[in-house]
């Protein structure tokens, strides 16, 4: 068990391009979360999966954002037609009982 793994660690993209991030949770955890953290702020909830089912989505998650968790294992977060306001750290976390998440190290997205 190596914790929550996120790839890539850094991504620089041009405005208007699509990007996809991957998260591999702790293997025995059935709950997976995506949060977004901007500079100087705390993380903000984006979406949550229990196994393969996406059970909740934040209003922050516009229709340009989509997340999947096929087979209840790894998850991907895709942002289409990126905008400069999407620049942030995207954090993935997993848990079993719902409390006490384990976060990954995040993917830092810079949109130029």
Partner 1 sequence: QQQVKQSPQSLIVQKGGISIINCAYENTAFDYFPWYQQFPGKGPALLIAIRPDVSEKKEGRFTISFNKSAKQFSLHIMDSQPGDSATYFCAASRLSSGTYKYIFGTGTRLKVLA
Residues lying near partner 1 in the complex (CB under 8 A) are found at 4, 6, 31, 33, 35, 40-45, 48, 50, 55-56, 91, 93, 95, 98-106
The smaller minimum CB distance to partner 1, of residues 45 and 80, is found at 45
From the CB of 24, what's the least distance to partner 1, in Å? 13
From the CB of 5, what's the least distance to partner 1, in Å? 11
The smaller minimum CB distance to partner 1, of residues 18 and 96, is found at 96
**In sequence order, what E strands does the chain have?**
5-7, 10-13, 19-24, 31-37, 44-50, 53-57, 65-68, 75-79, 88-95, 102-103, 107-111
CA distance 40 to 45: 16
From the CB of 81, what's the least distance to partner 1, in Å? 27
The smaller minimum CB distance to partner 1, of residues 15 and 55, is found at 55
The smaller minimum CB distance to partner 1, of residues 76 and 105, is found at 105
CA atoms within 13 A on the CB side of 66: 8
From the CB of 102, what's the least distance to partner 1, in Å? 7
Enumerate residues 6+ apart whose C-beta is below 8 A from 10. Answer: 107, 108, 110
């Amino acid at each position: 068990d190596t914790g929550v793994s996120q790839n890539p660690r850094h991504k620089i993209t041009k405005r208007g391009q699509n990007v996809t991030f991957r998260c591999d949770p702790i293997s025995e955890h059935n709950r997976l979360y995506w949060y977004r953290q901007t500079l100087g702020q705390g993380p903000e909830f984006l979406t949550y999966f229990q196994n393969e089912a996406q059970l909740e989505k934040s209003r922050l998650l516009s229709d340009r954002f989509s997340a999947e968790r096929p087979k209840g294992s790894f998850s991907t977060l895709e942002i289409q037609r990126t905008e400069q306001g999407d620049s942030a750290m995207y954090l993935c976390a997993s848990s079993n009982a719902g409390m006490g998440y384990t976060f990954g190290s995040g993917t830092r997205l810079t949109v130029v």
